[in-house]
Structure 1
Amino acid sequence: MGEPAPLAVAYDEGAVSPAEIAVGVAGLAPVAFVLPHSPHVRKLRPVLSRLGRVVQLTGRPERDAVLLRRLAPAGVLTFSESLLRVTAGLARTLGLPHHTPEVAEVLTDKYRQRERLAAAGVDTVRCRPVPDVAAWEAALSAVGLPAVVKPVHGQGSRGTFAVHDRADADRVRSRLFDGPEDTWVVEELLRGRPSGPFGDYVSVETATGPDGTEVLAVTGKHPLTPPFRETGQFWPAALPHEDREAVSDLAVRAVTALGVTTGVCHTEVKLTPGGPRIIEVNGRLGGHLNELSRRACGVDLVRVAALLALGAPPPPAPAPPGRVYFQFNGLAPVRPGRLRALTGGDEIRRLEGITGHRPYVRPGDDLPGGVGSVFMDLLTGDAPDHPAMVELLDRALPLLRYEFTDGATTWVESPRRAC
């Protein structure tokens, strides 16, 4: 009897770690990591080689298709935003379930996604592309102020700016074309409704397969740190039943309109005074959600995604947890600097309800600055209810202290919940 066909996982920096992939897929199929050339992959290649077979992509679609045909995988998937289009092309070549290349393009192009959602009557948000600086004023005029500017392709709030007035517009314009991005979008800024100590947005986690789309969970969010920096999430969301139903229905209609037929999607939804509105649909598992799901419900979302890639129908939604399970991420500073020290981890772990603190950076690491959501660490815990979660975080976060230097000055920050 021959060796069973592997599950090909196109891997780069993304929503889950190599260890999470190995654990989630265990018992389903051997793992074959399909790798691009990237600094992250070069760093982790020894780890990946211990966890499964490694196949190096060449970057040439025809040659890579030959490599994958020789591998003869039973399924193919990715948890990395940057590899969605590559994986879609490989899946089409192999005749395996996944996003089609056309769907992957819409999922990774913010302007085309807005166009498709509007054409389907799911959600209409004013949006214009800015392919060059000459298109800037026309886009602002068409969208109006306030607006949000973001790269057409991107994640983690990277390069995302709010434009409230002409002064903001002039500042953002001067920065737009300094970096590697060559196309941006200007969108209507969705105003959230008052949400107390919680974020004015949620995400909806869906699974799509041969039998349609199931909502797995609605994920609550901590308030954004300006301009659009994410700081964490929790299960269950602090929403009444009718709101949960409304955001779930919107997310299902969105993934259907975009043509999704296979896989896990992560749809961010703004809670506005006029009802829920789509922020964006991501065609893969959301960051850190597998850790949250395993603690809160005992459900491994990597395994769910793997089963969908192997042709299984979507599972039913897990039962809501009886407690509130949360994550919180400290953010790197907006100004560039080097981390000199991170202290308070031992103190914070001794608090009842805190289950873990995992640093992502070490003293000596250089941090690039900027407005993206670059995480310093991951704090995890649980509480009896939502108010208790807020109270616990307000006690815990000041215990963590990050010391930075830019060579000329030294400063200390502690993470905190935004208002």
Structure 2
Amino acid sequence: MNVLLISPGYPADMPHFTRGLAEVGARVYGIGDTPEALLPRLVQRCLSGYLHVRSLWDEEAVIAEVFAWKGMATIHRVECLWEPGMMLAARLREALGVPGLDTERTLPFRNKELMKRKLDDAGLRTPRHRHADSIAGCWEAAEEIGYPLILKPIDGAGSMDTYRVNDREELRAVLPRLHHVPEVSIEEFVEGEEFTFDTICIEGRIAYFNVAWYRPRPLIARSNEWISPQVIALRQISQPMLTEGLEMGHKVIEALDFQTGFTHMEWYRKESGEVVFGEIAARPPGAHQVDQMKFACNFDVYREWGRAICWHAFEAEISRDYNVATVYKRAQGHGHIQRIEGLEHIQEAYGEHLVWDTLLPIGAQRRNWRHTLVSDGFLMLRHPDLDTTLAMADDIGCNLHLYAG
């Protein structure tokens, strides 16, 4: 099995997806705009070949370079787990004649308006929505949908360039911030808790799924620097609170005709109990949520994804033993990390439950919290009991502090 993998070294978890493919017996051929010598060592060890291109975003040039690549064997799969490269992957599949999502089936995963129209047609509950490519169109859609509403890029990822708008004055203030976005999706704002439904699928069958709970919702976390966002991978997936959301997730996969690979869906549960679709991507979640799955269920998620891709098989025994919480921290101040307060208490109190610490060290340059959920690092912990997990996560959120200057 020869797999062409787009951008094998980026984002941060891509080296492990590369490893996962290699460990199940695939020959992995990478393609990217990073020089091969600068790829992570893990990636270099796992690749059977690598094509360095000037730009991944010149699709015609990339396709031509792939066909001219003398070091590449016959390709059986083309994979991409990074949102911006999804359409390139689809075009390469069509050009090489290999299975997987083609451009027609990829579009609904990239175009939020088309996505919701297809799910509307399938009878699923989506937010009221319209798309607009002009200021006048935004005003017209806002009047039709009503306030509060959400504005987001029609092909965006995460909550970048996403705004809640409560009235006409806020819309007037937000529109200039979206001047660089050619087309937006305008949606009803759904008040409720936000969850994920993440899957590894094999020929349309869900072989594994994960449910995570955002605390608070990403839009709120993206709007307030003082918040320490949490993502909780839930152990008890059979609880009534989740039942209708899981049913919706299965129906979404079917309606969009997704076959084999990873998906990441977000959905809402209103106080009334109604569930509403959010959006879905044909890729895994980011910010190390795949690692959460590993710590929650005790199997190598990267390797089993590789097995699903290459051999249409899933061999891991899934044991949902833990809730896993990731608490992302943002330093106070600007510049370099000067001190960390509260970490000794956290380590003493919860040391046996902490599974991963990526907090920036003293002297490191603080990251831009608006550009990455990981921010200035995170602590990941696990515990079988949800209330205990949440209490530990809240303690970290409130009493662990990083200071920059």
**Under a length normalisation based on structure 1, what TM-score does the superposition of the two structures give?**
0.81
CA contact (8 A) 1:131 1:183 kept: yes
C-alpha RMSD of the superposition: 3.0
Give, in angstroms, the shift of residue 94 of structure 1.
Answer: 2.6
**Identity of matched residues, %:** 18
Number of residue pairs matched by the alignment = 386
Which segments of 5 or more consecutive residues in structure 2 lack a partner in the other structure? 223-227
Matches within 5 A, 1:292-307: 292-307=292-307
CA contact (8 A) 2:231 2:325 kept: yes
CA contact (8 A) 1:151 1:183 kept: yes
CA contact (8 A) 1:208 1:263 kept: yes
Q: Deviations over 1:254-298 (max 9, x none)?
A: 122122122111111111124211110111111223211221212
- Shift of the 283–42 alpha-carbon distance from structure 1 to 2, 3 Å rule, reads same
Matches within 5 A, 1:71-82: 71-82=73-84
1:416 corresponds to: none
1:207 corresponds to: 200
- Shift of the 368–205 alpha-carbon distance from structure 1 to 2, 3 Å rule, reads closer
Amino acid at match of 1:94: L
1:6 corresponds to: 2
Matched, 1:146 2:139: no
2:52 corresponds to: 56
2:173 corresponds to: 171
Give, in angstroms, the shift of residue 216 of structure 1.
Answer: 1.9
- Shift of the 171–374 alpha-carbon distance from structure 1 to 2, 3 Å rule, reads farther
2:289 corresponds to: 289
- Shift of the 103–382 alpha-carbon distance from structure 1 to 2, 3 Å rule, reads same
2:338 corresponds to: 341
Give, in angstroms, the shift of residue 14 of structure 1.
Answer: 3.5
Provide the rounded CA distance (Å) in 2 between the counterparts of 1:132 and 1:204: 33
- Shift of the 94–232 alpha-carbon distance from structure 1 to 2, 3 Å rule, reads farther
Matches within 5 A, 1:175-194: 175-177=177-179, 180-192=180-192
Provide the rounded CA distance (Å) in 2 between the counterparts of 1:215 and 1:269: 18
Provide the rounded CA distance (Å) in 1 between the counterparts of 2:249 and 2:175: 33
Give, in angstroms, the shift of residue 151 of structure 1.
Answer: 1.0
- Shift of the 143–116 alpha-carbon distance from structure 1 to 2, 3 Å rule, reads same
Larger displacement relative to structure 2 (52-61 or 138-147): 52-61
Amino acid at match of 1:126: R
Larger displacement relative to structure 2 (347-356 or 157-166): 347-356
Q: Deviations over 1:151-193 (max 9, x none)?
A: 112222101110112232122123221xx3221111110111x
Provide the rounded CA distance (Å) in 1 between the counterparts of 2:187 and 2:37: 37
Give, in angstroms, the shift of residue 211 of structure 1.
Answer: 5.7
- Shift of the 227–46 alpha-carbon distance from structure 1 to 2, 3 Å rule, reads closer
Give, in angstroms, the shift of residue 404 of structure 1.
Answer: 3.7
Q: Deviations over 1:338-366 (max 9, x none)?
A: 34435248523343222221036874536
Q: Deviations over 1:190-209 (max 9, x none)?
A: 111xxxxxxx1211122222
CA contact (8 A) 2:19 2:303 kept: no
2:225 corresponds to: none
Matched, 1:402 2:395: no
2:126 aligns with one of 114, 124, 129: 124
**Under a length normalisation based on structure 2, what TM-score does the superposition of the two structures give?**
0.84
Provide the rounded CA distance (Å) in 2 between the counterparts of 1:212 and 1:162: 35
Matches within 5 A, 1:4-403: 5-11=1-7, 13-14=10-11, 16-19=13-16, 21-23=18-20, 25-35=22-32, 37=33, 44-45=38-39, 47=41, 48-52=43-47, 53-57=49-53, 59=58, 60-67=61-68, 70-177=72-179, 180-192=180-192, 200-210=193-203, 212-224=205-217, 227=220, 229=222, 231-236=229-234, 241-272=239-270, 273-287=272-286, 288-313=288-313, 318-321=318-321, 323-331=322-330, 337-341=334-338, 343-344=340-341, 347=344, 348-352=346-350, 353-359=353-359, 363=363, 365=365, 367-368=367-368, 370=370, 373=373, 375-403=375-403
CA contact (8 A) 1:156 1:373 kept: no
